[in-house]
Structure 1
């Protein structure tokens, strides 16, 4: 428990520090967690509570369309920009999730941009999730949706029953999952930065040194 608290404190501190640097440079501020959800099912329950908890209690910067968008925003530009800049994603699957090709488009974008995605199966089992093709969606998009959905279904996630589940326990588990994934992303970023800073070793230089 103490290790989890320490990791949570460290990652939140790093995020807040990077946020200050972004504000100093007057650049758009990226979100930490993109919440992909079906509004009709979960906006006023799981998705909304997750957003408030991550923002208020963990001081992170989550993205939820109804909270982060304002009249006049270009829908696709705003959503796709948030997905491209976010560190991780949460996909809240619900009974009517697959009825929305827009939800599936967001999921596909997260998978295609190699984001870490935490699946939350809310009142639905993974086996019940199927892409529904009503004939009004291009075949290539249907394929994208199916691939993304299959990847999400075989990713370890959280299950929650909104009628019988313990909400406080769910939020605690979701918080731990978010923090652990943010820590992993931050560690991978630091490793990548160190690797890029190491001078590249060229074969010609090696041969030249041998001949001298």
Structure 2
């Protein structure tokens, strides 16, 4: 690839097949990194913020573009997922974009997903809160992969999640 082509590629940003939505403090050093690596080895182009965001990128613009351009979303729900504006914004955009989604319930049950953090409740507009609540309620109704870190095998979760993502990608490409 020539210099001009590389510059244009970098300006446009890397296209991705899969957007991984997760709470950094809960899952980045475990299942999310393993899932990213496994999907990459499968020939997939997953979007992971720590891998794809570059210095100077406009955070929400880059993330929103990646979500709109992806074919499948993966939401890794964890105990503090709903405490993050960014997690909720990403989930809302995935759901609003009608992307197929693979939910992973990591140390949390779907019924436990709700916004309870007063900082989120007080800092968001009513419109954002409605969007977030709707996205959470929609995600709860999708069959996902449960995971209990105290007793389940992380490598098995990654295998199942990767298979589900690859299946969704295949369905999308066949449609």
TM-score (norm 2): 0.89
- Superimposed CA distance per residue, residues 151-199 of structure 1 (whole angstroms, 9 cap, x where no aligned partner): 10100110111221112211211111011101111111xxxxxxxxxxx
Partner residue, 2:46: 62
Aligned pairs for 1:101-120 (under 5 A) are 101-120=85-104
CA drift at 1:28: 4.5
SS of the residue corresponding to residue 101 of structure 2 reads strand
Partner residue, 1:78: 62
Partner residue, 1:186: 173
* Count of residue pairs the alignment pairs up: 165
User: 2:51 & 2:22 partners in 1: Cα distance?
Assistant: 13
Is structure 2 residue 17 aligned with structure 1 residue 32? Answer: yes
Gap runs ≥5 in structure 1? 1-22, 189-212
- Bigger relative contact order (CA 8 A; separation at least 6): 2
CA RMSD across the alignment: 1.7
TM-score (norm 1): 0.74
Q: 1:28 to 1:65 in 2, by over 3 A?
A: closer
Is structure 2 residue 145 aligned with structure 1 residue 161? Answer: no
Partners of 2:14 and 2:52 within 8 A in 1: no
Gap runs ≥5 in structure 2? 1-5
User: Which residue, 77, 80, 99 being the options, matches 2:83?
Assistant: 99
Partner residue, 2:129: 142
- Superimposed CA distance per residue, residues 90-132 of structure 1 (whole angstroms, 9 cap, x where no aligned partner): 0000000000111000000001111111110000000001023
User: 2:110 & 2:29 partners in 1: Cα distance?
Assistant: 22
